[in-house]
Amino acid sequence: MAQIIGQSTRQFFIGSLEKPHMTEVLVEADRIERQYWRDLWRFRELFFFLVWRDLLVRYKQTVVGVSWSLIRPFLTMVVLTVVFGKLGKMPADGLPYPLLVFCGMLPWQFFSTAITESGNSLVSNANMISKVYFPRLVITVSSVMTSFVDFLISAIFLVALMMWYRFIPPIQVLCLPFLVMLAVGASLGVGLWIAALMVEYRDFRFIVPFIVQFGLYLSPVGFQSSVVPPRFRLLYSLNPMVGIIDGFRWSLLGGRAPIYRQGLVISVIEVASLIVSGIWYFRRTERTFADVI
């Protein structure tokens, strides 16, 4: 049996009448949000389990396994080097063109993989969502972190490539952790929006691959932002990945900071807006996931 003792319009006690072990649970309307964020910490083991599970499933029954994280960026680098470097004759400012391409492709591949995986994360885990309570945010964030592991593995090839060309990073490589965090933030912000929208609108299963494919050529992956005419530079920088990719190249390969500074400032503002709005929309729609999915 349970007894409810009203205290006010904002709180009440639920107490057991079974003695001598009487317990009380305080429930307040304004504590629900704080409880949600505490639940994220309580379910941290589920987070690590989902990351581990996704990594195992991704490379299960593959011949080369995790090596795909190196093969995919290598083949993409070769194609973009031929298309933009050999055929398009894009400037490289004296840098090895494969190295220039890979420094831009590394953050872009992480971003594109993360938004694709996180966008499908809720629909792929429909059975868990409809049967068990836990903060659904755990699923989407774990998908982004799974893509981040691939990013770290691909970074090994970047180190090997820089050693092959005997290229030593400049002092601004110390800024690289900030740019990595910015790439994670952009992936998480967009991923939260897509994941929440895909639960209700399955059309995004077809829209997201188009965005990824089209965005590759709208981002400075196979070329430098300096080739964009100055009158279009501001409009071009509205793509949040422009400042991030230019920042990656600047921190790893050097160059003139003013080329990328404007785009980086815009990227920081956009990433912060995407994270805040993404969490807001995700939390707003989360209560209906189990019914809609």
| Residue 15 reports pLDDT greater than 60 | no
Strand arrangement, sheet containing 2-6: 2-6, 11-16, 24-28
Which of 90, 112, 136, 135 has its CA nearest to residue 228? Answer: 90
The C-alpha torsion from 224 through 230 and 231 to 236, rounded to 10°, is 30
The domain ranges of the chain are: 1-42, 44-292
**Where is 223: in which H helix or E strand?**
none
For 122-133, letters b (16+ CB in 10 Å) and e give bbebeebbeeee
| Residue 115 reports pLDDT greater than 70 | yes
Mean pLDDT of 93-113: 91
pLDDT at residue number 270: 94
| Residue 148 reports pLDDT greater than 90 | yes
Residue type (1 letter), 13: F
**Per-residue pLDDT tens over the stretch 229-264:** 888 888 888 899 999 999 999 999 887 654 557 788
pLDDT at residue number 19: 45
Does residue 34 or residue 272 have the better pLDDT? Answer: 272
| Residue 10 reports pLDDT greater than 80 | no
Token pair 């190295």 is at which residue?
Answer: 99
Among the ranges given (92-106, 120-134, 268-282), the one the predictor scored with the smallest mean pLDDT: 120-134
